[in-house]
Amino acid sequence: MVNQTRRDFLKQTAWGTAAFLAYPPSRVLGANDRVRVGMIGVGNRGQDLLEEVQAVPHVELVAIADVYRGRFDEAKKMAPGVLTFDDYRRLLDRSDVDAVIVASPLHTHARHFLDTLAAGKDLYAEKTMTWSIPEAERCLAAARQSGRVVQIGLQWESSGALADAKQWIRQGLMGKVTQVESWMSRNTPHGQGQWVRPVPADCTAENVNWSAFLNGRPDRPFDPYRLINWRLFWEFSGGNVTENMVHQVAWIMSALDLPLPSAASMSGGIFSEKDGREVPDTIAVTLEFPNDLVWTWQSTFSNRHYGLGEHILGSDGTIEHGWEESDMVNGEEGEFTRYYPEKVNRPQAAALVGKSKDQDHMGNWIDCVRTRKTPNAPVEIGYQSAIAVHMANLAYRHKQRMTLEEAKAVVPPF
């Protein structure tokens, strides 16, 4: 996909499919009416979400769609009687589906997003919202025009930790925040690459709708390794920036009510996982925000000691948020949110510990499908976080600091 014009790219993606459609009205649901749900992409994450949605009261799982038929039996074990399709359009054709969960690979998100809205369904769309910036623009516009309830799978937007951080910031306990540090770290046993999944024996050409998986990427013979390990390759993925940084940048943008970044830089490389993957495993990102703030994010796949976390640094206080981190004091792991006053500016103030409970992100979506309220992770935070992560990847791939304007002008793929 190197010598591609913008027009070629538009032809290859879902763009244009939902552009000027009139969106049908949604079904009005009473408090006890069942919400009838379908799912596109029932792999690892999809099966988690399948469990989650079935745990929400008054939900009926009607149908699933996946290009790999091996998923059908797995889904039927979890949801006996569910209808199965290897073409997602058959699922969207059904009038007995009110709302759709999309948990397909990143490079198909925009297609599934736009077509779900065009079919008049409400949508739960896994992060990152899209594979590229132009697709994110398109999905934002479609979601706003459609009037559909859209929840992005950024579940930390429903977290108690975010609620606590927001409250402390709104109460003015932080003063001026000029810097935020975030990190995300993992490790695996020697010889076992992060993210690498074995190819199941039944993942054969006969069992897979391969051209639907490719979704307009250059044609090639069936390659089950790429189907199962799409995360490792740029055509389908954005690497750890779209897999994990997106959660943290969304969290920080929501906590501090940040606008889009004005510029991004990213360095790193494939330093630990030399297994033929294309996406970097060791990463340092800097995002510059126009309101006097710099955010850094570091990620490694060969040390997990510090887990994942954030330090929000203000003139009047610090918020620290950690998850799966080995606490330096007691060695325990778990999630925590704490506030520490800066004694130079708040000498009498006390430290605080976050206590808010997490909300059920899936339950919040179903609730909004009934009430037509805006969910906790609406399309706007999906859009903002998508732009931020794509700016970082573009900076890495172009080997230069990338401003927002420059990033928006890039014709996909890169």
Ligand X SMILES: NC(=O)c1ccc[n+]([C@@H]2O[C@H](COP(=O)([O-])OP(=O)(O)OC[C@H]3O[C@@H](n4cnc5c(N)ncnc54)[C@H](O)[C@@H]3O)[C@@H](O)[C@H]2O)c1
Count of residues that bind ligand X according to CB under 6 A? 26
Residue 242 burial (C-beta neighbours within 10 Å; 0-12, 13-18, 19+)? buried
Q: Which residue's entry shows tokens 């999809």? A: 46
Q: Rule CB under 6 A: say whether 127 interacts with ligand X.
A: yes
Q: Rule CB under 6 A: say whether 115 interacts with ligand X.
A: no
Tokens of 43: 């792999």
Answer for which of 38, 41, 268, 307 binds ligand X (CB under 6 A) is 41
* Overall residue count recorded for the chain in this entry: 414
Q: What is the DSSP letter of 133?
A: H
Kind and range of the H or E run holding 180: strand 177-185
Sign of CA dihedral 170, 174, 177, 180: negative
d(C-alpha 320, C-alpha 174), whole Å: 12
For ligand X, the closer CB: 216 or 413 = 216
Q: Rule CB under 6 A: say whether 152 interacts with ligand X.
A: no
Answer for which of 33, 44, 292, 411 binds ligand X (CB under 6 A) is 44
| Residue 40 beta carbon to ligand X: minimum distance, rounded to whole angstroms | 5
For ligand X, the closer CB: 88 or 339 = 88
d(C-alpha 318, C-alpha 315), whole Å: 8
- The DSSP string of 46-94 is HHHHHHHHHTSTTEEEEEEE-SBTHHHHHHHHHSTT-EEESSHHHHHT-
For ligand X, the closer CB: 128 or 146 = 128
Site for ligand X in 240-269 (CB under 6 A): 243
Sign of CA dihedral 120, 155, 172, 292: negative
d(C-alpha 267, C-alpha 219), whole Å: 31
Q: Rule CB under 6 A: say whether 384 interacts with ligand X.
A: no
* Choices 182-190, 210-218, 376-384, 387-395; region in contact with ligand X by CB under 6 A: 210-218
| Residue 177 beta carbon to ligand X: minimum distance, rounded to whole angstroms | 26
* Choices 24-32, 208-216, 305-313, 348-356; region in contact with ligand X by CB under 6 A: 208-216
* Choices 3-11, 40-48, 133-141, 174-182; region in contact with ligand X by CB under 6 A: 40-48
Q: Rule CB under 6 A: say whether 126 interacts with ligand X.
A: yes
Answer for which of 38, 43, 120, 261 binds ligand X (CB under 6 A) is 43
Q: Rule CB under 6 A: say whether 379 interacts with ligand X.
A: no
For ligand X, the closer CB: 263 or 392 = 392
Q: Rule CB under 6 A: say whether 162 interacts with ligand X.
A: no
| Residue 24 beta carbon to ligand X: minimum distance, rounded to whole angstroms | 23
User: Are 232 and 278 spatial neighbours (Cβ–Cβ below 8 Å)?
Assistant: yes
Q: Tally helices (H) and strands (E) across the chain.
A: 14, 15
For ligand X, the nearest residue by Cβ is 43
In angstroms, the first-to-last Cα distance of the chain is 9
Amino acid occupying residue 248:
Q
Kind and range of the H or E run holding 134: helix 133-146
Site for ligand X in 45-104 (CB under 6 A): 45-46, 65-68, 71, 88, 103-104
d(C-alpha 103, C-alpha 42), whole Å: 7
| Residue 231 beta carbon to ligand X: minimum distance, rounded to whole angstroms | 7
Answer for which of 15, 213, 323, 383 binds ligand X (CB under 6 A) is 213
Q: What is the DSSP letter of 121?
A: -
For ligand X, the closer CB: 39 or 174 = 39
Tokens of 59: 């939900």
Answer for which of 105, 224, 239, 354 binds ligand X (CB under 6 A) is 105
| Residue 370 beta carbon to ligand X: minimum distance, rounded to whole angstroms | 23
Residues that bind ligand X (CB under 6 A): 40-46, 65-68, 71, 88, 103-106, 108, 126-127, 153, 155, 212-213, 215, 243
